[in-house]
Amino acid sequence: MPKSPTHALTWSSENNTYILHTPENPPQLLVPGEEKRWLGWLSTHTSFTFQGQHGHMSMLKEGRSRGSGYWYAYHTVANHTRKRYIGRGANLTSARLEEVARALNSEQVPVTPTPIPPPPETGQMLQLVETRLSHPRLPALLVTRERLLDKLDTALSYPLTLISASAGWGKTTLLSAWVARSTCSIAWLSLDELDNDPARFWISILAALRTSLPRSGKTVLAMLRAAQPPPLTTILMTLLNELSALAEPIVLVLDDYHVIGEQSVHDTFLYLLEHLPADVHLVIASRVDPPFPLARLRVRNQLLELRDVDLRFQTEEAAHFLTHTMALSLEETAIATLASRTEGWIAGLQLAALSMRHHVDPSTFVQTFSGGHRHLLHYIQEEILVGQPQALQAFLLHTSILNQMTASLCQAVTAQANSRELLEAGVRANLFLVPLDEELRWYRVHALFREALLARLRATQPEMVPLLQQRAARWHEQHGDMREAIVYALQAADYTYAASLMERVADQMWLRGEAQTLHTWIMGLPEAVLQVHAALALSSALHLLRNTLYMADNHRAKMRLQVEQTISAVEQMLQRSQQDLLTERERIRLSNRIRLLRGWQAMRDVYQEGDGERLHALSQEMQELVKDDELAWKLPPTVSMVLSHHLLGDFAPLVPSLHKTKALAQQAQDSYMLIKMMQWLANAYMVTGHMHLSHQECLNALELLDQMEGQMTTRGYLHLTLIELHLVWNNLAEAQTHLHHLLQNARSWQNLDLFMLGYYSQVMVSIAMGDLAEAEQALQESEALLGRNKLEIHRVKVTAARVDLWLTQGNLTATRAWTSAYVFEPGALENNDEWEHMALVRAYIAQKQYSEAQHVLEHLLANAEQDQRAWDIIPLLALQVAALHGSGDLSQARQIAARLLMLTESEGHIRPYLDAGEAMEQVLQSFLDDTTGMEDTANAFPTLSISHVSLLLQSFKEEKTRRARKKMEQASQVEPTHMLTPGDKPLSQVLLEPLTTQEQRVLRLLIAGQTYAEMAETLIVSRNTIKTHVTSIYRKLGVNRRLDAIVLAQRLHLH
């Protein structure tokens, strides 16, 4: 939902017309029917609220890459926002607005059941977050600083603007004034200490961006909050792709950047800065320079800087501040002296002004005043506070422990019932209280003043500090803001209470991708408390490890180091702890969990090596360790078990176990575990031959992910299973659709495993469709990826795909060279090698080496049948039919084919028959032609269906028709049939070689005016791949520029 607009169009029954309310002008009457002035106003604005005769709504003009943008209406009821498209500004007549308002206000709010909802967050917590997403309210008597505002206006010419100065120089006020007067789109974020968690930092930035871009970042937010988040650079790549499509500039303002001390946050923010789109600009306010390469940015003219020398009040500004804002009557010489003594330091001037209110002789005070920071505490204690009522002094001291404050929070902390009145008194007295919202409910104290107050509190009443912090923690707990409650509890050194809060909020934080923050808090607990909450510490380590299976090596190493530190801390604690603090059962459980965590750390390496036997043994060891443990701890052995069965090919025993764990996950409302079980169950169903069950499980899982707005990598694997199913059913269009989703998921999460599986699937789908150029392109992508990364487990698939493509291309020379070098070892069959073994059989059949093919098939079938892998048995039987037919044993070929028909009829296999080629077609046709043979076959296989055979033969006919049409299309691309004009070159001179299918797609996007980044996004490839295609297109067309390529392509009808 967009940020509330500052403009409003309301119906006035008293005036019988509409009134336009804007900040810059008095209310304007708009008479219905005379709307020229209204439409003129619309052309220069992008948002307003509408309160008509039939309801209310918010209007937002959303930009487009081409055109002036379109208007949308938003209406929110019961936290549900509905949206309606209106169109261009000319459509926004009063009649149209009333019509849409009536429709939106009369619609029923749909109720969408969510099987596993996340814990709710209270409105109070949400409001506290919202105060960080808008600039602080400006004071009524503001010193307008045109010279600095004009300089900030040039921020749109720089990627980064840095306002760097110590406290008290007016950084936030200056930025707030600039934001208030600026006409460009600006997102504001006030940072706090909790933003040192990388996930929270970027969630906060995304929340800020969405105040100006309400439709942006849905995928990015889901990735950040995922239980298995991808690397932050991957998430930022997705965000950058969204930002690069903006039609208008946007500025992101980050206030108080100095609170960030976590290097990983600096690193990722620098990554954003270095890849920033041209229309995105960053503005940072900080007390210290951020650790960015500022010198390099200066040399490149990419940095605008404002420092204390720029921010200091000049004499005339100091005079205006002292005489108007602070309402003092001073001579010019006194003002000049103060400006000189403070060196234009705004906080020093304000402190001096506050002190002078209590001096009879301001001139004497001016002569003795020193505005240096070292005198700040003295002046606050002796000059400012002493002049305030005792109640207000105590109130200010006791609330100095708060980052932000509202009346009820102050009352809870100070135990003063008149906290609201005291808060308002502090505002009236100009005691550095900054309002954070328009309703004047939330405030913060100027950091410099707060630090001084806190120092005095610790010096004079040290025993009160932890008590006040505990009260703040309790208030935040009661109002649902558990994170703030934990922070205050930790500050109060109330570790037992903090740990109990962590226990309560842990599940939510893990679900939201905040495992790192929670882990940091836990590891900061003293040993005595950690001992009581050792299970929580190990659970935190478990969730850190959960997403490391396909993580890049450097990120995985860092995560594993943190996990090892946690394990070591708990181990040492167990060795030193007293026997009566932990029961023997608790000790055993903690020890078992430690062993399991170490086993899971080893699991990835074993899996990458493809050692199924060792992985299976490891999974059994882990299962034994947690057989009586909580559900979350059953995930590592379940993952290991699934992966080992995948490597060993023994899926049948897996189904009951997955069913059981799925039921437990549903009962426990563990959404992460439930989705993973559904993914693996779908795969197990498929491998064991239950294709329709697999299909339904995939659809159910995807629907659940949609309801949860989940963006786990699991989504990609579900699409992979659906690709394989639709390919076997010969539903090639559906397979292509799921392939597109798979590659999108792989790219979003930068999951190398999904990339490899996606490219392999693309090869198989393209071969089935007869698009060999597309298959070659996908295979080259997979070979390149394999060469750059340690992905040995995928090498056999890539090799098999290469052989299959050679066979489809008719390249028997390359095929013979490969088969002659290949060594088949029947005694050392590995399930993962079966891809190569099947390719070997197809190669033998193509070379008419039927006895060799049957020898390999005999061993492969025995292995697949032993493990009940129907998914492998069926294509192997189809190849066996082709081999037997080729060797002349038609009778045995028919026997095998009859068995194959019986196995496949209920599940609808088609592709294995088509891939077996003409030999299979002839065997199937023989069932219809030879009545005698059919009777023999019927006796052996009484369930054989003639209608099923006829359906398959029809599929062969359709396949031939489709391939013939494909050849004609490819031929027409080489020699177009259009007439050349007299000035045209002959086509043979224009096209040095025909464009591939992918190059044709790129050419169409080139003509449409897309950038390289947009083309890469559309085709789900890298920018470098797009550049390679464009270079190839230019070479083939004999041109050097986009314009020449477009003209020639249009003239030759190549697009």
The answer, yes or no, to whether residue 975 has pLDDT greater than 60, is no
pTM recorded for the entire structure: 0.60
Among the three residues 337, 372, 407, which one is the final residue of a domain in this structure? 372
The distance between the two most distant Cα atoms of the chain, rounded to a whole number of Å, is: 126
pLDDT digits (tens, 9 = 90+) for 280-323: 999 999 988 898 988 888 888 899 999 877 887 877 887 877 77
pLDDT at 476: 93
Low-confidence winner among 438-442, 598-602, 648-652 (lowest mean pLDDT): 648-652
What confidence tier does 436 reach under pLDDT thresholds 50, 70, 90? Answer: confident
Share of the chain above pLDDT 70, in %: 81
Query: Averaged over 225-248, what is the pLDDT?
Result: 78
pLDDT at 296: 85
Low-confidence winner among 132-136, 196-200, 708-712 (lowest mean pLDDT): 708-712
Any domain includes 943: no
Q: Are residues 172 and 209 located together in one domain of the fold?
A: yes
Any domain includes 50: yes
pLDDT at 471: 95
DSSP H helices, 890-1040, are: 890-904, 911-915, 918-929, 931-940, 946-974, 987-990, 997-1007, 1012-1019, 1023-1037
pLDDT digits (tens, 9 = 90+) for 139-194: 766 777 888 888 899 998 899 999 988 777 788 888 998 998 888 899 999 998 88
Among the three residues 439, 464, 479, which one is the final residue of a domain in this structure? 479
Among the three residues 433, 451, 479, which one is the final residue of a domain in this structure? 479
Question: How far is it, in rounded angstroms, from Cα 863 to Cα 947?
Answer: 31
pLDDT digits (tens, 9 = 90+) for 886-916: 999 999 999 999 999 989 988 999 999 999 9
Query: Averaged over 208-224, what is the pLDDT?
Result: 83
Side chain identity at 381, as an amino acid letter? Q
Any domain includes 783: no
What confidence tier does 363 reach under pLDDT thresholds 50, 70, 90? Answer: low
- Other residues' Cβ atoms within 10 Å of the Cβ of residue 383: 20
Any domain includes 82: yes
Question: How far is it, in rounded angstroms, from Cα 425 to Cα 423?
Answer: 5
pLDDT at 119: 35
Question: How far is it, in rounded angstroms, from Cα 1008 to Cα 1042?
Answer: 11
Side chain identity at 25, as an amino acid letter? N
User: Rounded to a whole number, what is the distance in angstroms from the first to the last CA of the chain?
Assistant: 40
Report whether 184 contacts 249 (CB < 8 A). Answer: yes
The answer, yes or no, to whether residue 118 has pLDDT greater than 60, is no
Length of the chain in terms of residues written: 1055
* Secondary structure of 705-739 in HEC code, one letter for each residue: HHHCCCCCCHHHHHHHHHHHHHHHCCCHHHHHHHH
pLDDT digits (tens, 9 = 90+) for 21-73: 776 566 677 765 556 778 778 877 777 777 788 777 777 776 543 445 667 77
Any domain includes 570: no
pLDDT at 127: 40
Burial-class residue 564 by CB neighbours within 10 Å (0-12, 13-18, 19+).
Answer: middle
Query: Averaged over 434-461, what is the pLDDT?
Result: 80
Write the CA distances from 122 to 345, 406, 874, integer angstroms. Answer: 41, 16, 55
Residue 728 pairs with which residues in a beta bridge?
Answer: none
Q: Are residues 131 and 267 located together in one domain of the fold?
A: yes
Any domain includes 52: yes
Report whether 548 contacts 556 (CB < 8 A). Answer: yes
Q: Are residues 365 and 240 located together in one domain of the fold?
A: no
User: Which domain CATH number covers 455?
Assistant: 1.10.10
pLDDT at 373: 42
User: Which domain CATH number covers 166?
Assistant: 3.40.50.300
Q: Are residues 276 and 411 located together in one domain of the fold?
A: no
The answer, yes or no, to whether residue 568 has pLDDT greater than 50, is yes
Q: Are residues 294 and 340 located together in one domain of the fold?
A: no
Q: Are residues 129 and 236 located together in one domain of the fold?
A: yes
DSSP H helices, 307-345, are: 308-311, 315-320, 332-342
Any domain includes 1012: yes
pLDDT at 315: 77
Question: How far is it, in rounded angstroms, from Cα 913 to Cα 398?
Answer: 81
Q: Are residues 364 and 394 located together in one domain of the fold?
A: no
The answer, yes or no, to whether residue 652 has pLDDT greater than 80, is no
Q: Are residues 153 and 286 located together in one domain of the fold?
A: yes
pLDDT at 709: 59
pLDDT at 936: 56
pLDDT digits (tens, 9 = 90+) for 582-636: 778 888 888 999 998 888 888 877 877 778 788 888 888 888 888 888 877 888 8
pLDDT at 705: 83
What confidence tier does 803 reach under pLDDT thresholds 50, 70, 90? Answer: very high
Question: How far is it, in rounded angstroms, from Cα 976 to Cα 970?
Answer: 10
pLDDT at 124: 36
pLDDT digits (tens, 9 = 90+) for 985-1037: 433 344 546 777 778 888 888 877 777 777 877 777 777 778 778 888 877 77
Write the CA distances from 517 to 120, 224, 562, 730, integer angstroms. Answer: 20, 13, 12, 48
pLDDT at 696: 94
Question: How far is it, in rounded angstroms, from Cα 744 to Cα 131?
Answer: 35
pLDDT at 140: 67
Q: Are residues 161 and 279 located together in one domain of the fold?
A: yes
Listed in sequence order, the residues at least 6 apart from 352 whose beta carbon sits closer than 8 Å to its beta carbon are 338, 342, 365, 366, 369, 371, 379
The answer, yes or no, to whether residue 108 has pLDDT greater than 60, is no
Q: Angle at CA 97, nearest 5°, toward 71 and 56?
A: 95
The answer, yes or no, to whether residue 883 has pLDDT greater than 60, is yes
pLDDT at 109: 43
Number of structural domains in the chain: 5
Give the highest mean pLDDT range of 359-373, 399-413, 561-575.
Answer: 399-413
Any domain includes 798: no
Query: Averaged over 367-393, what is the pLDDT?
Result: 65
What confidence tier does 843 reach under pLDDT thresholds 50, 70, 90? Answer: very high
Closest by CA position to 518, among listed 526, 528, 509: 509
Q: Are residues 73 and 198 located together in one domain of the fold?
A: no
Q: Which domain holds residue 67?
A: 8-106
pLDDT at 67: 45
pLDDT at 433: 80
Q: Are residues 347 and 450 located together in one domain of the fold?
A: no
Question: How far is it, in rounded angstroms, from Cα 751 to Cα 234?
Answer: 9
Q: Are residues 346 and 403 located together in one domain of the fold?
A: no
